[in-house]
A and B are shown apart, each in its own frame.
Chain A
Amino acid sequence: MKTKEIAINLKNELLNQFEQHFDVFASANSDFVKDRRRKAAKIFKEIGFPSRNLESWRKTDLTKVLSKDYALNLSSKLEKNNIHDFFSCEINQFDTDLYTQVNGWCVEKQESPKVYENGCIVGSIKAAMHQYPELFEKHYGKYVTNEKNGLIALNSAIFSDGYFIYIPDGVDQDRTLQMVNIINSKKHEFVNARNLVILGKNARLKLVHCDDSIEFKNSLINSVTEVFIDSGAKLDYYKLQNKDEEAVILTNTFFHQEADSSLMSNTLILNGGLVRNDINVLLNGRGANADVVGLYLVDGKQFVDNHIYIDHAVSNCTSNTTFKGIADDEARSVFNGHVLVRQDAQQTLAFQNNHNIQLTNTSKIDTHPFLEIYADDVKCSHGATVGQLDKEALFYIMQRGICERNAKMLLMLAFVGEIVNKISLPTVQEYSHDLVTRRLKGELSACDQCSIECADPDKPLVFEIDMSKV
């Protein structure tokens, strides 16, 4: 039986635009990229958007969000308009090197990626593919393990821009890099962002990725991020998602880890209309370690779905997946954890946990822990819980004179603390703690301003328009 395809209109429109504007939006692309784009478009044409008939999309229904009227950014006219909205975001108290994307386009002051004294290269992927074709072509598309995913195929076909980060062998990038992806548009933006992060042998990087929105308009971000972590390298990756209730974020992140490398991936989802994160980790070298943790706080009619796939391909690797969530009102959350331990992956340590608090009867929480083990000398465990706040603890706290609201707050903060406390950067941890507290108190609603301002909420968000570029 032929499965019913969803969002045929949007799909056809995208493919039309792809054909019509290909020469324009891919004009500056190398043959390598052009070729990849065409191949991906062909796959997308075949399989389209994922539907609920697919097991991994059973709980996430895209029909509604894909039936909206989006502004597609493929033609040169739109591109020019966007490129010339040169925003730079003023942030305070948060000591990072900031790189901003607005509506899917990098808006750095200079078009070329920045080259640090230590050799690190950071900037627009669109620029990097010209200036560093060897580096780009060596890694681009190599770590996407799921070619037959319509969203990834679409992204590979029509991605606009994204960030490119290269940390050379042995370099410890002491500046924390912060990538902010802002949607600021009067139209319903459909953004396909593509990011590539390369860590050389024994390199170190701390990367913060924020998805924020400014305008209360429907927007859809479909992003693909590929991360290569060479042997002995260490990456701290923090993803913060704080979008408005109409926003749709679909992300696919691929981490490829070589021997003795180390990954800490921490995803904080504070707001969003529909959020779907697929995080894939391939442990490809002995002694690699991956900590993949996350937190989701959903209320109203928000929907969050996290799919975490850890592939233990070789022996002596460790992985630790911990996701926690709180669901209020009529919100829904889904957690899908899959740990694969291949036959050769002896001496694997793999742990997977998902814990949830359901505040209302009308909220819904799905959790699917799954271990698939083919090796016999391994230590693996998984645990999943859905519960309410501990009534005994509430009584104890209230007996000391604390009102119910604050008692619940203490318990919720304690519950989420495990995830927030795993953030190793003190400034990010402090800031995240503040955000989460405000979120739980109901003071941080869907963003009407860049959430980074929450470090100093009294200070208004300032956009500087670089007039020289207009």
Chain B
Amino acid sequence: MLSIKNLHVSINGKEIIKALDLEVNAGEVHAIMGPNGTGKSTLAAVIAGREIFEVTEGEILFEGKNLLEMPIEDRARAGVFLGFQYPIEIPGVSMTNFMRTAIDEIREYRGEKPMTAGEFLKYMKEKQKLVELQSKLSGRSVNEGFSGGEKKKNEIFQMAMLEPKLSFLDETDSGLDIDALRVVANGVNKLKSPDNATVVITHYQRLLDYIVPDFVHIMYNGRIVKTGDKDLALVLEEKGYDWIKKELGEELN
């Protein structure tokens, strides 16, 4: 589904991602871990199409298509979703209107019939229930006045609404208490299917107690330096990132 080869990304002339390779197939759950400032969020942002980053080398293919040539909205319509680390508050834009506009445009892109107002509201309610988002959404602006936990749940709710093929969840677990974490993880698990894939970016092994990954990648200094199964996260939790640094010491120097 997603194939990244030899990706190099810079911002203001500073290289952040260096020769990164990653393959994600349908039905898989990947976790990317690693210390701060190693380029995890940059990777997610580049895939979503954030323009401040410059791809200097390499390619990203999504279902065979060159993702880097697609505008932001077309990537989303084709099925790429980014769960934001810091969801943006947009005062004055109602959640309902926001989701309605998004779904209308995505359906049009896919050549599907638009939903009627009734169908849409029913669909929205179903998805809200699915991801256990109890907060009343109608009449509220996007993320405005939402608590930290609500904002993250809202990201998962939007993911449920848009039914993406590939979701990058950028530190969706940070700042969550254990109950909210469980709700977010349950949402992700319920949305999992053989046709879609999820990549969770996280600092902590904690999330992986709830979302069991098929692959764990450790990212360090702009590259994926180690890949393993879910047990790699446990080793990392036990030994800390210094272990990775030590192990890589020779190579990096």
Q: Scan residues 378-402 of chain A and give those whose CB is less than 8 A from a CB of chain B.
A: 390, 392-393, 395-402
- Stretch in A34-42, A163-171, A414-422 touching the partner: A414-422
Cβ B76 vs Cβ A401 within 8 A: yes
- Stretch in A58-66, A173-181, A369-377, A404-412 touching the partner: A404-412
Per-residue A-contact encoding for B70-96, CB less than 8 Å = 1, 0 else: 011101110001101001101111000
Cβ A414 vs Cβ B93 within 8 A: yes
Q: Scan residues 90-113 of chain B and give those whose CB is less than 8 A from a CB of chain A.
A: 90-93, 97-99, 101-103, 105-106, 109
- Once bound together, how far apart are the Cα atoms of A176 and B141, in whole Å? 31
Cβ B162 vs Cβ A393 within 8 A: no
Q: Which residues of chain B come closer than 8 Å to A390, judged between CB atoms?
A: 88, 90
Q: Which residues of chain B come closer than 8 Å to A28, judged between CB atoms?
A: none
Q: Which residues of chain B come closer than 8 Å to A393, judged between CB atoms?
A: 88, 90
Per-residue A-contact encoding for B140-178, CB less than 8 Å = 1, 0 else: 011000000000000000100010000000000000000
A413 at the interface (CB under 8 A from B): yes
- Once bound together, how far apart are the Cα atoms of A392 and B142, in whole Å? 13
- Once bound together, how far apart are the Cα atoms of A417 and B117, in whole Å? 22
A24 at the interface (CB under 8 A from B): no
Cβ A402 vs Cβ B92 within 8 A: no
B184 at the interface (CB under 8 A from A): no
B32 at the interface (CB under 8 A from A): no
How many residue pairs bridge A and B at CB < 8 Å?
Answer: 74
Q: A410-B97, A410-B101, A414-B141 are in contact. Are A403 and B90 (CB under 8 A)?
A: no
B50 at the interface (CB under 8 A from A): yes
- Once bound together, how far apart are the Cα atoms of A395 and B88, in whole Å? 9
Majority secondary structure of chain B interface residues (helix, strand, loop or mixed): helix
- Once bound together, how far apart are the Cα atoms of A392 and B50, in whole Å? 10
Query: Number of contact residues on B: which range applies?
Result: 20 to 34
CB distance from A432 to the nearest CB of B (A): 15
Q: Which residues of chain A come closer than 8 Å to B93, judged between CB atoms?
A: 397, 410-411, 413-414
Closest to A396 in B: B88
CB distance from B195 to the nearest CB of A (A): 18
Cβ B92 vs Cβ A417 within 8 A: yes
CB distance from A268 to the nearest CB of B (A): 17
Per-residue B-contact encoding for A433-459, CB less than 8 Å = 1, 0 else: 000000000000000000000000000
Among A396, A403, A414, the residue within 8 A (CB) of B87 is A396
Which interface residue of A390, A399, A411, A417 has the most chain B CB atoms within 10 A? A399
Closest to A415 in B: B92
Q: Which residues of chain A come closer than 8 Å to B88, judged between CB atoms?
A: 390, 392-393, 395-396
Per-residue A-contact encoding for B32-51, CB less than 8 Å = 1, 0 else: 00000000000000001110
Closest to A392 in B: B88
Q: Which residues of chain A come closer than 8 Å to B142, judged between CB atoms?
A: 396
Cβ B162 vs Cβ A401 within 8 A: yes
CB distance from B146 to the nearest CB of A (A): 13
Cβ A396 vs Cβ B76 within 8 A: no
- Once bound together, how far apart are the Cα atoms of A334 and B91, in whole Å? 25
Known pairs A401-B73, A401-B106; list 14 more (Cβ under 8 Å). A390-B90, A392-B88, A393-B90, A398-B49, A399-B49, A399-B73, A399-B82, A402-B101, A403-B105, A404-B73, A410-B101, A413-B92, A414-B92, A415-B92
Which A residues contact B (CB, under 8 angstroms)? 390, 392-393, 395-404, 406-407, 410-411, 413-415, 417-418
Q: Please name the 8 residue pairs, one residue from A and one from B, whose CB atoms are nearest each other, closest first.
A: A414-B92, A401-B76, A400-B102, A396-B88, A398-B72, A401-B106, A401-B77, A417-B92
Which B residues contact A (CB, under 8 angstroms)? 48-50, 71-73, 75-77, 81-82, 84, 87-88, 90-93, 97-99, 101-103, 105-106, 109, 141-142, 158, 162
Q: Can you give 19 contacting A-B residue pairs, CB < 8 Å?
A: A395-B48, A395-B88, A396-B87, A396-B90, A396-B142, A397-B93, A398-B49, A399-B73, A400-B98, A401-B102, A404-B71, A406-B101, A406-B105, A407-B73, A410-B93, A411-B90, A413-B92, A414-B90, A414-B92
